[in-house]
Amino acid sequence: MNLSDKELLNYAIENGIIDVNTIKKRIEMEEYQKYLDKHDSRVWQSTDGNWYTYLPEKNKRRLIKRKHKEDLENLIVEYYKSAEKEPYLEDVFAEWINGKLKYGEIQKQTYDRYMTDFSRFLKHSRLNEVKFKFVSEEMLEDFIKSTIHDMELTSKAWSGCRTLLNGIFKYAKKRGYTTISITQFMGDLDLSKKSFKKRRFTDEESVFTDEEVRMINNYINGREPSIAGLGILLMFETGLRVGEISAIQWQDISDGLLTINKREIHYKDDTGKYIYEVVDDAKTDAGTRKVILSKNAQIILKRIRVLCPFGEYIFMRNGIRIRGNYFSKRLYYICKVIGITPRSGHKARKTYATKLIDAGLNDNLIISQMGHTDIETTRRHYYFNNQTLKESRPQIEQAIKYG
């Protein structure tokens, strides 16, 4: 007769072969030793006969003593047991972010950004110097207002910090680490718009004028056309993000439309090396979208196909996909060569949005082409004047004409 391990164990206990109390004591001893092994500081007996060691605290050590070594070891064990139940902000953050990554709620790219933001805003803050349960609403408000002021945060930078605080404290409340309702706290928090640093960009820094686009076209077309150069021209015709340009495949093009359902992401692997890969999803809640290809865009694509007819992706060199950031670097270089203000590929996207709005297109059509969920996002962040003052003069004169 073959018995399972569980059946054998029950048989041994029932027949006195194994004593349950002995097993429990052995487990307790192993657990006790596990906590002692966590303790890195030296344990010593001084000339006064007492036993000493240091217990680790945030950014410092605390000296403790007991008359008997056994009492000191008991205190060490209790300290590490308690520490497991009473984490610091950094510990709660690690639990929260690792859980989100484990269950696919965030991608590695987002994980890296959260890690960077935590190091920037929270790692060296007062909030991380006390056990999480002692973080009060007063401390939290003081941290937020002093951080915004001392670090001169823009509203956009604050939103990154707020995302972390919301996630950490919601997780902590569920785990019983805090009683603070971060949703209610943030709702009651009074932050003046004047608290945030204003980043002001001139129109010349934000978009390209028609003349500048012509100069870029002439430069690229006047030389031996390169794959990257033609990609830059396509960005002005479609308003695609650089990560979307890099991920286009020939199968995405049909009937004068370009389907955007992939993008490039990048993140650090376990060695700290950046990994670049294409993922099959869209960047925003707008999801997959179809971009209308202008006649000029279709001509550019035909020229690209001549240069790279058989690649897995449209933009490849020597069998390797061209990364998104290369298009921006190349555009920066071209701007410097032709003598205009250097700008990134994202500014080509803003130029495209500005052209659509100026042309009076329907709002729904504009946001569908941009991949946004509402027109206010486009107007607030992507719309700038791309006319020179000289070009704007007739419009001004017409606007102020009396009688």
Query: Can you count the helices (H) and strands (E) in the chain?
Result: 18, 10
| DSSP secondary structure letters along 314-368 | SSEETTEEPPHHHHHHHHHHHHHHHTS----HHHHHHHHHHHHHHTT--HHHHHH
Give the helix/strand (H/E) hosting 168. helix 155-175
Q: Which two tokens stand for residue 196?
A: 């945030």
Residue burial 19-37, b: 16+ Cβ < 10 Å; e: rest: eeeeeeeeeeeeeeeebee
Q: With CA atoms as reference, report the closest residue to 293 among 346, 253, 247.
A: 253
Full-model pTM: 0.62
pLDDT digits (tens, 9 = 90+) for 89-143: 999 999 999 999 988 898 888 999 999 999 999 999 999 988 898 899 999 999 9
Closest CA to 325 of 187, 231, 388: 231
Single-letter amino acid code for the residue at 310: F
> What pLDDT is attached to residue 396?
42
What confidence tens digit (pLDDT) does each residue in 242-284 have?
999 999 999 999 999 999 999 998 888 777 788 899 988 755 5
Give, in order, the Cα–Cα distances in Å from 371 to each of 105, 148, 242, 348, 353: 22, 31, 14, 15, 11
Top-confidence residue, 154 or 223: 154
Between 399 and 8, name the one with better pLDDT. Answer: 8
**Residue partners of 313: CB distance under 8 A and separation at least 6:** 246, 247, 248, 249, 278, 321, 322
CATH superfamily of 203-395: Intergrase catalytic core (1.10.443.10)
Nearest of 100, 84, 98, 63 to residue 132 by alpha carbon: 84
Q: Please enumerate in sequence order all residues whose Cβ is within 8 A of that of 79, keeping only pairs 6 or more positions apart, or say none.
A: 55
Residue 285 has pLDDT above 80, yes or no: no
Do 354 and 386 form a contact (C-beta atoms < 8 A)? yes
Share of residues in the chain with pLDDT > 90 (%): 45
